């Protein structure tokens, strides 16, 4: 247990706790944000028959505690942890429907020898597990599970195929064979050697369709007022902390709106943090500075160079614990270091607005393609696609025939649930050509098996087309990649907790009930949010088109200071040793870079995927980092129920 906790001390370096029972051992690494003096875990209930360890925050804990007191519960701490424990004692698994937060929970019941594991609705906080002979091993990160002496690390070829296709694995699969995640919005009960996984919340949309919504006749101003009130309250409760709280400021609509709300709530000093790039193609620092001046924040910037991104990439993979098709997590890793260096543990960010209010270009793309599908032979309708992706090189100069070849995949197959994402996923599959014959054969054998393809709700055909597109983006990309590799992991690498007002379940459920026209109006994204933000932000920010957050890929690895690990891991010897990729295909890709040629979008992603896969293999299989146990000087609270006594160790 000490070794497992040592692997995740970055998630909670302040205090450590261990519960030891005859049938269970629980460990906790604490990032102290609430109740700094008495909130150390594990925590037991009044008669010490229930014990909890958990990672995350429950933002409505004050209101929940007041209600529980009226029901006779007694509290010994001021923490949200103890609130969860008593809520479980009162309601059982149904307590999850009362929590507004981001969490991974473990509760041990001494009476019936059962373990309750639960994860928040959208999967902000991670939770993984594996089964051994007669044992269940779980943790907030896979590296903690791998620290168990009986767990063996092995990369899953099918998972690699999913990552290279969908940019992430499909829940509950991870890239490690036999290690799975508890899906978002699910809980698990382990008892008597059996595991039962149950959903308690799912992503859903109305089935009546757009026309039925329009017939309601509700004035748009009422939607504006409701969203404004929800966002203000979601932000207000996420400011609850006994430590200073900062905010990320990208210069776009979402993070600017959250920072502006914080200002309206009377916060006297607000530190904001952002990323600037030396590569002008990715830099938005001008807009960030403008917003910081407008809001009067203390603004701090980390400047990410190509060399910086390439230099920290191995550390990023150590924390993401999976191959990735982008370098975007690397600047986020650098940003969270800046946040921690400035003395902050908590930041509010704008994640979630693009998914639930239709901010991404892929939603516009699907709308244009449906419009084009009405006249498949049209020569001018596909030209609308040129407006969508200014960040993709050479698309603006594409001919009509090239646009039709690229975006015309399954054009008239409007009924398929993944219509919106078919082009992206088909294009991504081109990166799979770099796989070795052995990997391709193993993937082919598994095709059609459980979790090998996305699954969709039975009622999805009755949703409007935008809702179907949103479901694909939310259920696969949001929790599996964005909130993990680009959210929780690079932040927690430096012991920083991100909080996301747009992911408040009340905001999410409101947005999912909205008419499509209030999210995507013609080709204007996040229409309702723009209306809400008019009273908070300058017009140029409100009107500004969405610019996706991206980071340079091939220039980060091949530059004046190309890191040694890049040449080594992409060399023929290393490729043959790992066996995941075709050495001649990868050598041809590298030759383009050696010749000074720029890579297209697909090859750029392939480069990131190949290199991060090689790094994942090295870091977790070939030469894993030392599993350093907690040190003697670490503050460790040990509750040893086997001896029926409590001791403090350290």
Tell me which residue has tokens 């479980």: 88
Sheet holding 271-277, edge to edge: 298-304, 271-277, 245-248, 346-348, 497-499
CA 186 – CA 31 distance, rounded (Å): 24
Contact 13, 36 (CB under 8 A): no
397 in any annotated domain:
no
Average of per-residue pLDDT values in the chain: 93
Give residue 173's pLDDT: 96
Residue 184 domain boundaries: 2-203+631-649
Give residue 390's pLDDT: 59
Give residue 624's pLDDT: 82
Residue 88 shares a structural domain with residue 188: yes
Tell me the per-residue pLDDT of 5-53, one tens digit each, with 9 for 90 and over.
999 999 999 999 999 999 999 999 999 999 999 999 999 999 999 999 9
Residue 136 shares a structural domain with residue 79: yes
268 in any annotated domain:
yes
Tell me the per-residue pLDDT of 334-351, one tens digit each, with 9 for 90 and over.
999 999 999 999 999 999
Range 214-235 burial, b when 16+ CB lie within 10 A, else e: eeeeeeeeebbeebbebbebbb
Read off the tokens for 212: 């039925």
Contact 254, 353 (CB under 8 A): yes
364 in any annotated domain:
no
Residue 125 shares a structural domain with residue 10: yes
Residue 196 shares a structural domain with residue 283: no
Q: Structural domain tally of the chain?
A: 2
Q: Where are the beta strands (DSSP E) in 379-489?
A: none
Tell me the per-residue pLDDT of 404-455, one tens digit each, with 9 for 90 and over.
888 998 999 999 999 999 999 999 999 999 999 999 999 999 876 667 789 9
552 in any annotated domain:
no
Residue 250 shares a structural domain with residue 333: yes
Q: Which of 521, 543, 565 is the last residue of a domain?
A: 543
245 in any annotated domain:
yes
Contact 329, 489 (CB under 8 A): yes
Alpha-helical segments (H) within 104-146: 142-146
- When pLDDT is averaged across residues 471-494 and rounded to a whole number, the result is 96
Tell me the per-residue pLDDT of 170-184, one tens digit each, with 9 for 90 and over.
999 999 999 999 999
pLDDT at 384 over 90: no
Q: What is the reported pTM?
A: 0.95
Tell me the per-residue pLDDT of 85-106, one tens digit each, with 9 for 90 and over.
999 999 999 999 999 999 999 9
Give residue 391's pLDDT: 57
Q: Which of 482, 509, 543 is the last residue of a domain?
A: 543
Give residue 397's pLDDT: 59
For the chain, what percent of residues have pLDDT higher than 70? 95
| pLDDT band, residue 403 (cuts 50/70/90) | confident
| pLDDT band, residue 319 (cuts 50/70/90) | very high
574 in any annotated domain:
no
The answer to whether the peptide bond before residue 61 is cis (omega within 30 degrees of 0) is: no
Residue 10 belongs to a domain with what CATH number?
3.60.20.10
Go through the chain and tell me how many residues it has. 650
Residue 27 shares a structural domain with residue 80: yes
Residue 505 belongs to a domain with what CATH number?
3.40.50.620
**Lowest-confidence range among 176-190, 396-410, 626-640?**
396-410
410 in any annotated domain:
no
At CA 569, angle to CA 564 and CA 570, rounded to 5?
A: 105
CB atoms within 10 A of CB 401: 11
Write the secondary structure of 544-584 as one string of H (helix), E (strand) and C (coil): CCCCCCCCCCHHHHCCCCCCHHHHHHCCHHHHHHHCCECHH
Residue 100 shares a structural domain with residue 229: no
Residue 86 shares a structural domain with residue 111: yes
Residue 182 shares a structural domain with residue 276: no
| pLDDT band, residue 401 (cuts 50/70/90) | confident
Q: Which of 491, 526, 543 is the last residue of a domain?
A: 543
Residue 175 shares a structural domain with residue 253: no
374 in any annotated domain:
no
Residue 239 shares a structural domain with residue 130: no
Sheet holding 128-132, edge to edge: 135-139, 128-132, 180-181
CA 284 – CA 548 distance, rounded (Å): 11
Give residue 405's pLDDT: 84
Residue 199 shares a structural domain with residue 317: no
CA 285 – CA 250 distance, rounded (Å): 8
Contact 309, 146 (CB under 8 A): no
Tell me the per-residue pLDDT of 133-157, one tens digit each, with 9 for 90 and over.
889 999 999 999 999 999 999 999 9
- When pLDDT is averaged across residues 41-70 and rounded to a whole number, the result is 97
Task: Name the region of 53 (left: φ>0; alpha: ψ -120 to 50; beta: rest).
Answer: beta
């Amino acid at each position: 247990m000490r070794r497992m906790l040592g692997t995740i001390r970055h998630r909670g370096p302040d205090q450590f706790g261990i519960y030891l029972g005859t049938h269970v051992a629980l460990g906790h690494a604490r990032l102290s944000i609430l109740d700094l003096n008495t909130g150390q875990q594990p925590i037991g209930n009044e008669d010490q028959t229930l014990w909890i360890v958990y990672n995350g925050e429950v933002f409505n804990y004050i209101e929940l505690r007041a209600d529980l007191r009226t029901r006779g519960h007694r509290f010994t701490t001021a923490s949200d942890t103890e609130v969860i424990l008593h809520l479980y004692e009162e309601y059982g698994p149904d307590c999850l429907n009362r929590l507004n937060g981001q969490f991974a929970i473990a509760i041990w019941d001494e009476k019936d020898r059962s373990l309750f594991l639960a994860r928040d609705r959208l999967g902000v906080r991670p939770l993984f597990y594996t089964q051994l002979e007669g044992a269940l091993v779980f943790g907030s990160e896979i590296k903690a599970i791998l620290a168990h002496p009986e767990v063996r690390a092995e990369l899953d070829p099918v998972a690699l195929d999913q990552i290279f296709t969908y940019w992430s694995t499909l829940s509950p699969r991870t890239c490690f064979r036999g290690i799975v995640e508890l899906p978002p919005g699910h809980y698990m009960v382990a008892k008597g050697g059996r595991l039962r996984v149950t959903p308690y919340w799912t992503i859903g949309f109305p089935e009546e369709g757009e026309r039925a919504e329009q017939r309601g006749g509700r004035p748009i101003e009422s939607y504006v007022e409701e969203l404004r009130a929800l966002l203000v309250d979601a932000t207000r409760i996420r400011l609850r902390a006994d430590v200073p709280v900062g905010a990320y400021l990208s210069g776009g609509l979402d993070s600017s709106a959250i920072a502006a709300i914080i200002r309206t709530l009377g916060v006297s000093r607000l530190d904001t943090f952002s990323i600037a790039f030396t590569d002008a193609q990715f830099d938005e620092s001008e807009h960030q500075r403008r917003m910081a001046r407008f809001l009067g924040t203390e603004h701090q910037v980390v400047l990410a160079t190509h060399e910086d991104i390439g230099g920290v990439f191995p550390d990023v993979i150590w924390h993401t614990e999976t191959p990735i098709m982008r370098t975007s997590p690397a600047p986020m890793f650098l940003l969270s270091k800046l946040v921690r260096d400035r003395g902050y543990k908590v930041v509010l960010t704008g994640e979630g607005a693009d998914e639930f209010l239709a901010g991404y270009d892929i939603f516009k793309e699907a709308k244009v393609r449906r419009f084009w599908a009405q006249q498949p032979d049209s020569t001018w309708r596909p030209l609308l696609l040129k407006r969508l992706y200014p960040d993709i090189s050479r698309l603006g100069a594409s001919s009509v025939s090239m646009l039709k070849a690229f975006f015309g995949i399954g054009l008239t197959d409007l009924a398929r649930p993944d219509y919106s994402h078919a082009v992206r996923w088909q294009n991504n599959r081109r990166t799979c050509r770099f796989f070795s014959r052995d990997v391709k054969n193993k993937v082919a054998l598994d095709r059609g098996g459980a979790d090998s393809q996305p699954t969709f709700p039975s009622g999805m055909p009755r949703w409007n087309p935008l809702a179907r597109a949103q479901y694909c983006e939310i259920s696969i990309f949001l929790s599996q990649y964005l909130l993990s590799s680009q959210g929780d992991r690079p932040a927690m690498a430096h012991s920083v907790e991100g909080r996301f007002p747009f992911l408040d379940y009340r905001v999410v459920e409101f947005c999912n009930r909205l008419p499509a026209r209030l999210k995507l109006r013609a080709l204007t994204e996040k229409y309702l949010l723009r209306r809400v933000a008019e009273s908070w932000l300058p017009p140029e920010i409100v009107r500004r088109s969405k610019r996706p957050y991206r980071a340079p890929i091939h220039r980060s690895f091949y530059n004046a200071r190309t890191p040694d690990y890049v040449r080594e891991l992409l060399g023929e010897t290393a490729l043959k040793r790992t066996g995941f990729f075709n050495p001649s295909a990868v050598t041809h890709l590298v030759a383009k870079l050696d010749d000074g040629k720029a890579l297209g979008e697909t090859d750029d992603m392939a480069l990131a995927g190949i290199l991060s896969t090689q790094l994942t293999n090295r870091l977790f299989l070939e030469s894993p980092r030392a599993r350093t146990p907690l040190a003697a000087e670490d503050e460790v609270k040990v509750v040893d129920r086997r001896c029926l006594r409590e001791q403090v160790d350290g």
